[in-house]
Amino acid sequence: MTVRLLAIDVDGTLANSKGIVTERTRQVLHEAVARGLYVVISTGRSRSFLQCVSDQVALEQPLICNNGAEIWKNAAELLARRFMPVETGQEIIHIFKRYGVEHMWGNDEQGDFSPEMFQQVLQNPPMKLGAFFEDEHQLAAVRAEINALPDIEITSSDELNLEVMKYGTSKAHGLAELATEFSISLDDVMCFGDSYNDMEMFEECGTAVAMGNANDELKAMATYITATNDEDGVAQAIEQYVFAVQEPIA
């Protein structure tokens, strides 16, 4: 197996605890591209949020945003977007409101929105809606109600949050579309992550690398476990499991 594509989560993975992509990691990603690999940012975050990360990486890399609801071949070419119906989005907001959820966001993650602001936002179909919860009981109650809605997908990037998209949406789905676009098998993809919304990628990719700070469930699914995001774990893994064992791709 030759690794031809690197799919890398951002929070807790590519970026350190300060939200910074270190110079070492940036250099390793540039070397990967020089060796003929694709480098794909794969995140639950929005495209607008990712701009600061893209500026740090300084590559025209493909992007998987909003947990696979938005897929970019490069900075200028959009491949696909997946939306929930407006009515579904409004029902999700009503559920959040009934349970007193205060911290929630939409496609662009521009801070916390009140339910009233969301009603304005939801004049257009949403790609993703998310929320943070006060405790596990509030989360479980909200999750149970949202699970009863048709044609939705639920994931999380933290123990106390939920992120809701159209059914079938995941980072793995987005990665499969990009792999097809680039004529690459998922067996030749190495993915990196730290949380629950990376699980589908770990199931589908040929090589899965969990960060040292990843949750135990993800570590159990990993091919390798690398150092933490504060120890350049992504760079270490690429150097050890790619550069050290395979020649550059012609």
* Catalytic annotation, residues: 9
**CA nearest 42: which of 5, 76, 77, 16?**
5
- Whether 194 and 229 have beta carbons less than 8 Å apart is answered as yes
What's the token pair of residue 231?
Answer: 């120890």
* Distance from C-alpha of 146 to C-alpha of 156, rounded to nearest angstrom: 13
**Phi/psi of residue 215, each to 5°?**
-70, 160
Total residue count of the chain as it appears in this document: 250
Cα–Cα distance for residue pair 216/165, rounded to 1 Å: 25
SS3 193: strand
Separation of alpha carbons 67 and 64, rounded Å: 7
Element (H, E) at 159: none
Q: Which residue has the tokens 């504060």?
A: 230
Per DSSP, the three-state class of 233 is: helix
